[in-house]
Amino acid sequence: MKQLDPFIGELELQQVHMGSLQPFIEHRRSSGVKTKTVNAALAVVRRIVNLAAYEWMDERGLTWLEAATRIKLFPIKDARTPYPLSQEEQAVLLKELPEHLARMALFKVNTGCREQEVCNLRWDYEVKVPGLNTSVFIIPGEGVKNGDDRLVVLNSVAKGVIESMRGLHSTHVFVRVRGKKAKAEPVTKMYNTAWKSARERAATAWAKRQDAAAPEGFRKVRVHDLKHTFGRRLRAAGVSFEDRQDLLGHRSGRITTHYSRAEIGKLIEAAEKACSKSRKSPATFWLRLPGGVVSA
């Protein structure tokens, strides 16, 4: 809404349509944003227009608009290709990230959680698993993109990250402590200027180490690429499609937070195959081709 306000903030609701939105669209395009980002803003406008036409009523019982203006979204043809990290690229990136982001990234690449699932992870989501000497996290549906409760199992690396965060904050798992006497503050965002600066340093370090320019995908690696990395590693390790769905939090026909101890144990074993130190993990490299990435 803040982005839209300079362009349509002074208009009457009836004046908001694709024509009046064109200056906003052109401005965002010229700023270099992807179509998906433009569509996200247009979807907000469309939602408001639909509410004004069909649900919001005035004191006379009339809707705010007689009819909803059609707000069209653009076909997405410029989506960025996912970039799964190799183990070496991951190590270089983690070394350059600030400590609090490095921990979050390490957890993310070993659980497949989305950025906001990591940022909003709370201690009261943790559930002990009797007999397995471990715990899982169950994230309520309101904090998950698809609206379903999200089961997060911990392989040995993710479990180690969790243990390192205990006692730092009463409610949130991932926090940042700016000074020795400062209070721990929850981290609200991973993809920020610190992340972007770190990936630039990582690309420079990679170039020096390899005596060659860093791949474009690595130079512009996103937080969400860590989720793709986890998924690709699971697939390369031969983890079944159904288990990959559950580990990545994808919607399926199964009730994904109702598991027996044996089932949780199986998922933990599957997640363990994504660990860099796991002897069961096959040697994996990514064939990077123009227009896409193929694992091998």
| Whether residues 91 and 64 fall in one domain | no
Same domain, 126 and 253: yes
> Facing residues of 289 across strands?
292
| Buried b / exposed e along 162-177 (16+ C-beta atoms within 10 A) | beebeeebeebbbbbe
CATH of the domain at 125: 1.10.443.10
Residues 59 and 194 placed together within one structural domain of the fold: no
Structure confidence at residue 288 (pLDDT): 46
Both 127 and 190 in a single domain?
Answer: yes
- Tell me, yes or no, whether 159 and 52 share the same domain: no
127/195 same-domain check: yes
Global pTM reads: 0.78
Same domain, 57 and 197: no
Total structural domains in the chain? Answer: 2
**Same domain membership, residue 130 and residue 221:** yes
Nearest to 158 by CA among 268, 84, 259, 263: 268
- 172/265 same-domain check: yes
Domain membership of residue 1 as a residue range: 1-79
**Of the candidates 79, 104, 129, which is a domain's last residue?**
79
Query: Of 47, 79, 111, which residue sits at a domain end?
Result: 79
Do 127 and 213 lie in a common domain? yes
pLDDT at 279: 38
User: Do the bridges between strand 126-129 and strand 185-186 make them parallel or antiparallel, or are there none, so unpaired?
Assistant: unpaired
Q: Examine the domain organization and report whether 278 and 197 are in the same domain.
A: yes
What pLDDT, on the 0 to 100 scale, is given for residue 258? 79
One domain, residues 206 and 121: yes
Please list the pLDDT of the chain residue by residue as tens digits (296 residues). 999 999 999 999 999 999 999 999 999 999 999 999 999 999 999 999 999 999 999 999 999 999 999 999 999 988 888 999 999 999 999 999 999 999 999 999 999 999 999 999 999 999 999 889 899 999 999 988 888 899 999 999 999 999 999 999 999 999 998 877 778 999 999 999 999 999 999 999 999 999 999 999 999 999 999 999 999 999 999 999 999 999 999 887 776 667 888 999 999 999 999 986 543 444 444 444 444 444 43
Q: Report the distance separating Cα 171 and Cα 9, nearest Å.
A: 38
Query: Which of 29, 47, 79 corresponds to the end of one domain?
Result: 79
